[in-house]
Amino acid sequence: MRKWFLILTMTVLLVFPSVVSAQGQIAIESVDVGLWPEYDKPDMLVINYIMLAGGTEFPVQVNIRIPAGSVLHTVAVGETPEAVTDQGIDFKTANDGDWLVVSIQAEAPAIQIEYYDPALKKDGEQRSYSFRWLSDYNVANFSVMFQQPFDAEQFTSSLSLQDDGLHADELQYYFSNVGAIPAGETLAFDLNYQKPTDVLSVSRLQLQPVAVDENTAGRVSLNNYLPYIIGTLGVIMIVGGFMYYRQSGLSVSSKKSRRKRADRDEAESGVYCAQCGTRARSGDRFCRTCGSRIRQPEE
């Protein structure tokens, strides 16, 4: 009995540390969260850019928690954040209390998860949102990028915000660097702003006018090519006139040739109609005037 107990103890000591070691190998180098309220839906669009730590052995299963009730939109994996794809990604979801756990079979270190959180609250013009993050792994660096919605004012957060200026979409952005977050520790902060309308930001992007002038790249100015167009039309008219004149000359010459030939044939013939006296042409068998049969000289 004692012998079997020792064998069982040794087995647990050998197996359990390896399991713990395998789980501990997963670490997150960085998490960049994008919060885009009322962008293309009247909810909070949350975009997580996750980079696993160097030395991670692939494939590996990574569990990422998002708030329960959220609508998962995209799960993508790639070698870099710019090269992620959502094609052929193996993942599944499971509820765990206040969280929806997204389990991803990652083949590369860059992971992107997008979801819509309906927890964005509206009270007249006032908007408020509470963000939470809970990770099963250590995060070395956590940062947040805020997009201020179109026509929003008094944009504030319980995190310290740094002005990131206007981006290419002509919307205002703010940045906050949180730093390291240990595994199992919850990060929570609030977001508030005022917005007098329910117009989504994406609608403003679609209606942006495009200024076009003489210096716009790809624009073709008619003034630059007008001399060439006039010159080409002039050449075409000259060539067309020459061809018409030549064709008309050939037609007149052909008619004159046929007339001369007919007159010559008529002059060479010395046969007359016996009935009306009309001179017959060469080869005539009947009179062209009265229709009588032409008597040939040999008849």
- Mean pLDDT, range 20-27, rounded to an integer: 59
- 198 and 281, same domain (yes or no): no
- 57 and 156, same domain (yes or no): yes
90, part of any domain: yes
Please say if the pLDDT value at position 137 is more than 70. Answer: yes
Q: Check residue 6 and give its pLDDT.
A: 44
- What is the residue whose two structure tokens read 């939109």? 73
- 278 and 195, same domain (yes or no): no
SS3 of 129, please? strand
213, part of any domain: no
Domain that holds residue 290: 271-299
User: Looking at the DSSP assignment, which residues form a beta bridge with residue 44?
Assistant: 37, 117
Q: Check residue 52 and give its pLDDT.
A: 98
Q: Check residue 12 and give its pLDDT.
A: 39
- 119 and 254, same domain (yes or no): no
289, part of any domain: yes
- 169 and 155, same domain (yes or no): yes
- 105 and 178, same domain (yes or no): yes
- 145 and 251, same domain (yes or no): no
Alpha helices (H) along 128-221 = 201-206
Extract the tokens encoding 59: 């494939």
Q: Check residue 289 and give its pLDDT.
A: 78
- 105 and 189, same domain (yes or no): yes
SS (H, E, C) 235-257: HHHHHHHHHHHHHHHHHHHHHHH
Q: Check residue 5 and give its pLDDT.
A: 44
Output the CA angle 270-272-276, nearest 5 degrees.
Answer: 160
- Mean pLDDT, range 211-221, rounded to an integer: 58
117, part of any domain: yes
Q: Check residue 23 and give its pLDDT.
A: 44
- 186 and 91, same domain (yes or no): yes
Indicate the DSSP class of residue 272: B
Q: Check residue 223 and give its pLDDT.
A: 66
SS3 of 24, please? helix
The domain total for the chain is: 3
- 131 and 77, same domain (yes or no): yes
20, part of any domain: no
Distance CA 106, CA 12 (A): 29
Q: Check residue 234 and give its pLDDT.
A: 84
- 234 and 298, same domain (yes or no): no
- 68 and 200, same domain (yes or no): yes
212, part of any domain: no
Extract the tokens encoding 228: 């060439």
49, part of any domain: yes
5, part of any domain: no
